[in-house]
Structure 1
Amino acid sequence: MVEYLPRSAWNARPPNAGPGNLTASHVDGAVIHWPGTGSTKVIHTRTAVASALRGWQDYHMDTRGWSDIAYQIAVDQEGRAWTLRGMRTKSGANGDADVNDRYGAILLVLVTGEQPSAAMKATTRAVIADFRKLYPRGTAIRPHSAVRPEPTDCPGDPARAAIARGDFNPGHSEDDDMTPAQMQELKNFIEARTQAYALWVHKQLRRDLTAVAKAYALDIKNYERQTDAADAARAAAAVWATAPKNLAADAPAQQEPQVPDPNTDPKLEDHALDPFPPVEEAKAEEAK
């Protein structure tokens, strides 16, 4: 929920007779603006924003001859929302009577080259969500440069890129608003987990292959031993066959040796997998 600072918060002048209210059935969406001061001096504090809004109102009313500051709502880099004309009153910022009738106007308090902050984007999303409650068919979000009849660079390249990415769309994921430091931290975490997983897989494969090799070697030994026993049994049978019948009758019964089935895999003991190690443990293991 957005807390809108009232006009008194920036000591606004009373408006002159204005253009009237927006008609819900006419509204196509909201247009994003910036002040376009040409300065790189940031406007972040509450006092600085209030002073800037008063200056823009004076310029719009005294120099342009407009009824009030041109925009409906302003959003600053700290995520504060400021009531200007208000959402119901038509703006004077979009270019002509037609686009002012079809679009609202949201001012981003940005200077030249400044990127919209995560707080600014989050509040702007919430403001647009409120705007859509008043104007359900007004779902478009456009840069001023896309609707003004004459060319303009408003709202600046950073804000235009943010609009194109969908950063101001209600419901947009905050994951896309990470700072460069947060992105680097996430990258480091992913690399560490990848290394830990690779080490874990290597250990499991090495252990399982060792178990298979041992079982195979044991099976070969058993086969050789059983084959030798079979040969010995056959030789003994031949000897007893030539012996006197009374001696052969006293001989113990010979058993056919059990030869392993070459089509059957040897039975291996079950080996429970180790739990996946934490990053710190994996790094320590890798350092050995």
Structure 2
Amino acid sequence: MKIAILQMTSGIDPAANADRLARGVEEAAAGGAAMLFTPEMSGLVDRDRARAAASVRAESDDVSLAAARQAAAAAGIWVHLGSLALKRDDGRFANRGFVIDDKGEIRARYDKLHLFDVDLPTGESWRESAVYAPGEGAVAVDTPVGRLGLSVCYDLRFAGLYAALSNAGATVLAVPAAFTRPTGAAHWHTLLRARAIEAGAFVIAAAQTGEHEDGRATYGHSLVIDPWGEVLLDMGEAPGIGFADIDPARVVDVRARIPVISHRRPIPPVEVVA
């Protein structure tokens, strides 16, 4: 099964990002992919909160979601739209991903559970919770590439989420991201390979890359990793489309060799000995 990744350098203009998404869907279909995966914040990357607020829309009015749905239907391909900044009914924002089928219908939604509130040694400071509301549940959805477990970026650091997804039958894990360069260089490959190995699942991680209009810089290196932890695709730092083949039989083989899922046990309360 061939899949495609769109590695993006999304900017502050939602219309331009929507156009790139639509072209990415066309390129993926032309390359023979059954499904396209796009990064976190595919529709808008803007750290200026006042300016971004003027561009963020409700789901029903979002130009990137509409463009992806229309392009998916026209090309006859599934799309995992990694995430979009969307306005909720309560006025807060959601960091929400979508799975869109080959008819342009939304099959699943997922709101990012873990919000990125950190101060890095480089001086970068991020407070995602100042604007975004966290999600309230985990989501897995059946797709042409298998049962797909959904997550977004900072979720990657919380292994329990991926254990829950694989316990629910996920054989492919999606990790769309906009990793900073310092954290990407330190942890991106290691964490993604660990999640694949722990779950005995494919990991597909579409990433933002390069220098963005709002002044931030992202790490790139969109990856496809097999259930044994082998990197099948590393897109480096250039934006564009990449392709990889994933074989569901590989999941069966790896889980038969090391049956970590069937061996999992509930963790009892920790006894702290002083």
Question: TM-score scaled to structure 2, two decimals?
Answer: 0.27
Q: Which has the larger radius of gyration?
A: 1
Identify the structure with the greater helix proportion. Answer: 1
Question: TM-score scaled to structure 1, two decimals?
Answer: 0.26
